[in-house]
Amino acid sequence: MLNLIKIKDKKKEQAASAAGKAPVKKQSAGELRLHKDISELNLPKSTSISFPNGKDDLMNFEIIVRPDEGYYLGGTFVFTFQVSPSYPHEPPKVKCKTKVYHPNIDLEGNVCLNILREDWKPVLNINTVIYGLNLLFTQPNDEDPLNHEAAAVLRDNPKLFEANVKRAMAGGYFASVRT
């Protein structure tokens, strides 16, 4: 039965190609859901979205967060989103492209946000993830860190943490890594 469907689809593609039309790519359920999520985005004023590969590639995009309060005020942080065809049953893969001194983001750009891991549920959407990323900058979490050193400084000496954030955002060094 599956073979018959494939043959039928192939014939449709050949007929469209013969008529001079580009073949229509069938969208996965994940692409359809992502299209809906993006069309319904309600971004905070400190956040924007871009599609580096063009609007035809919705499964890969960037979110730019510019915190308007807190330790990271004045910074610009770029996150890449890679969304699998099985979205929303799997969370998007999110990485921070901007080096940042943060308890919940390591120097490789991995992001520690519970809704991207164990607390992900298909009812959540891209908007929820974006609000979660914004929350990381207004309320860094020292209880579930990826960068344990930054978490310890935040917990034990918030003034030093603030100074370290400012130095890192100005292009300073941390743990012998230039930010």
List residues with catalytic annotation. 112
38, 123, 86, 8: CA torsion to nearest 10: -80
Select from 134, 125, 169 the least CA-distant residue to 47. 134
The residues, ordered by sequence, that sit 6+ positions from 53 with a Cβ below 8 Å of its Cβ are 60
**Rounded-to-integer distance, Cα 31 and Cα 34, Å:** 5
Q: How many helices (H) and strands (E) does the chain have?
A: 5, 6
